[in-house]
A and B are shown apart, each in its own frame.
Chain A
């Protein structure tokens, strides 16, 4: 069973999320967004099992920085 709290997201929750994002959605839009947003959250939920440890977000993306990036930490 999925531990995700957003797997069954519906139009009312999407309307509420949009309100929080200060985004005024047309009345028909939340229903349009149900399937795409569920798909996106399903993808992002895959990341829950990755242990990020002390990895800090890059303050400036730089392909050369990989040499100094933290070591990998993962579950399993």
Chain B
């Protein structure tokens, strides 16, 4: 049964659909694995044994009764601690929210459960998604190292095989960073593609929701359940939702892949760069056309990301920062207090510049279909690290090391998928991302699938 927990959703779903596998057995196996791994990883804020078993029994009855809902029916998943699950506290992994209780489900919870998925637990986040470490959790490849953040619990649990999918949220890279550091797939859809209703915000104009999975096709299945307009989210886009799995095996013949000559390769570990360039060559050998591109506004992307995120986060936390400041962790408290002191004119300049950056990226996609680049600049660091030392001796604080390469897709709102591309010098996963034009998820999924089909990085398992 443990072996099944590591298989792609399509394979497991086929067994469930034909009643060779009961969701009850599958959920029990997932819960047993979670119980076994939690002392090492602390990936979960809460494990919902009884709720999950009840949902699995209901799913089994439905399937036996002929009411099979689709590929997620009976599949164990996890929700990041930012997501409302009715009747549970949405703690955001923070003492500030110790007395919270969700009175309704987030849109994601609703949609995934409607598709038949079984929520087996909620996964740890960096406090309020404001960081890249997820300090309560460990990386399954080395529990002494960070799983990345902010969706670190989901990254760790998915990589370990405890979940087929863990929900993440991505404001500066928080789906793709843990996906990269834990060796999973993670897709940040286009801004507006998936509803954020019922998800605690970090930064309204940069927040996205999306899944972390072990395979690209698993990501397509989950995105299918999540995508669509929702009037309850003011950022939600009323655009058609394609069938993401259609054409996913179509290959990359003739696909124009932009490889940046600046920004994305400027300060990255050599193994990260080598793995990304090897991934590009994989797609080139399968017929893709490689085009060198210049990333616009390279010096301005990160300042705009920080200017928007800090100010919006501080606005969101304005009341609790004045009433419960001592309950925040020191790093998050510092960010929030600093964000209060950014002048409104700086924030508005960032908004104006973001429009120009988006326009420049839109022009870039006239020449290429996707952009392929490293997801993050380095492997995971030790959990007690506060900075990163580059081979040339330069010391950099951790946030920009991990956010720098993911931020462009947040500032522009463009879709991006992180895929495993190998291992670095310390034996930890490295990753590349494929960025597409607005609402071009089907294209980046197709390119990512072509890479996955030609490599075996997604089949590697952490030594837990």
Contact = CB atoms under 8 A, between A and B. Distances in A.
Contacts of A65: 355, 358
Contacts of B414: 63
Given A23-B321, A32-B334, A44-B306, 11 more contacts: A23-B337, A40-B342, A43-B302, A52-B352, A58-B351, A58-B354, A61-B413, A63-B413, A66-B438, A69-B356, A72-B359
B68 interface: no
Contacts, number: 124
Contact of A69 (B297, B303, B359): B359
A27 interface: no
A54 B356 CA distance: 11
Contact of B190 (A50, A55, A57, A63): A63
B352 A62 contact: no
Contacts of B35: none
A37 B306 CA distance: 11
Contact of A33 (B235, B334, B413): B334
Contacts of A3: none
Contacts of B348: 57
Interface of A: 14, 17-18, 21, 23-26, 29, 32-33, 36-37, 39-40, 43-44, 46-47, 50, 52, 55-58, 60-67, 69-73
Contacts of B304: 47
Contacts of B235: 61-62
B196 to A, nearest CB: 12
Given A61-B205, A62-B237, A64-B438, A36 B334 contact: yes
B192 interface: yes
A47 B343 CA distance: 14
A17 B337 CA distance: 11
Nearest to B310: A40
Given A14-B341, A57-B348, A47 B355 contact: no
